[in-house]
Amino acid sequence: MPAEPAYPDTPEGDLDKLADEKGWVVDDLYPAASDFVADICESLPVSAVDGASRPQWLAESGNMDDDGKAVLQAGIPKLCPKWEPVLKQAVSGRYDRWFGDGTYVVSSKAPTAAEAEEGVETIPPGTYRAKGRMQDCYWERTSKGGDIIANNLATSAQSITVTIAASDGQFTSERCAVWKPVH
């Protein structure tokens, strides 16, 4: 009969014991649930660098798939409680979405599974601002038929604001800073 695993009397040990009791499985990359949560705790401070808000990064990174969500909900309060608000926003789905360079279909709905598989990304209508040192920032709003509604090439800018209408078809951004919703 195999020996019961020994869990240290630490928050990590408590989490690993809970994960084993519940049968939670995380990525094979991690030997234990606490290692997975520790990696997320270390990644959250720098996760917004690629054009996503922290809750957006957490929700859309695949880390909350399968048992990951349960492990993070049990582990973040124990291992990095300062990130609990980010986790709550990611779980609820109510968080600001930020947008980097690319072409987005204007829609208040997330892409369908088939669209997502094709690489379709959406941006909800609204007002967005890009801030930072931008050179040769080009943005464009087009109709559903592809006609240009409005566009601009800013050779040098520190802040650009664009309002995307619900009737727009697409929004394209090249060499701009991250677009964040204006509240």
Residues 78 and 120 in one domain: no
Residue 5 lies in a domain: no
Q: How many residues does the chain have?
A: 183
Range of the domain at 69: 11-92
Residues 75 and 112 in one domain: no
Residue 4 lies in a domain: no
Residue 6 lies in a domain: no
Residue 147 lies in a domain: yes
Residues 85 and 139 in one domain: no
- Judge whether 152 and 128 are in contact, CB under 8 Å: no
The tens-digit pLDDT sequence of the chain (183 residues) is: 566 678 999 999 999 999 999 999 888 889 999 999 999 999 888 776 557 788 988 888 888 888 999 999 999 999 999 999 999 999 998 888 899 999 999 998 877 777 777 888 899 999 999 999 999 999 999 999 999 999 999 999 999 999 999 999 999 999 999 999 998
